[in-house]
Structure 1
Amino acid sequence: MRSPPVGDVLGCITYLAPVVAVVAGVLLLSEPVTTRTIVGTLLVLAGAALAARRPPAADPV
């Protein structure tokens, strides 16, 4: 199994930084969890998943 390219890993870390910040704010600072927080977190996670997926392999002709 090959490891993913460094750019893919760094891209995912960049996308996930806001989610980590929100979780830290909730756990450490007792920030409120609102509907907007949940929707925003889900959108960020969906964007990170879309950015991390591989393009389909081309079928040999």
Structure 2
Amino acid sequence: MPTNYLSAGWRTARRCSQGNCVEVRSARDVVHVRDSNGRVLSASPEAWAAFVREIKAAEA
């Protein structure tokens, strides 16, 4: 895995305040999510958008 994959472009949630938050990195055809241990989950942009919609609906 290239080094820039591990360090470039990760965003942390705005609500993250304790350091145990996930980070998100998106590209044209894939969204990567990693936890504080560095494990990475990859999903299609469509699957990620559906996940985010469900989370937002549950918060409402």
Larger radius of gyration: 1
TM-score (norm 2): 0.32
Q: Which has the higher helix share?
A: 1
TM-score (norm 1): 0.31
Kindly indicate whether structure 1 or structure 2 has the higher relative contact order, using CA contacts under 8 Å at least 6 residues apart.
Answer: 1
Q: Which has the higher strand share?
A: 2
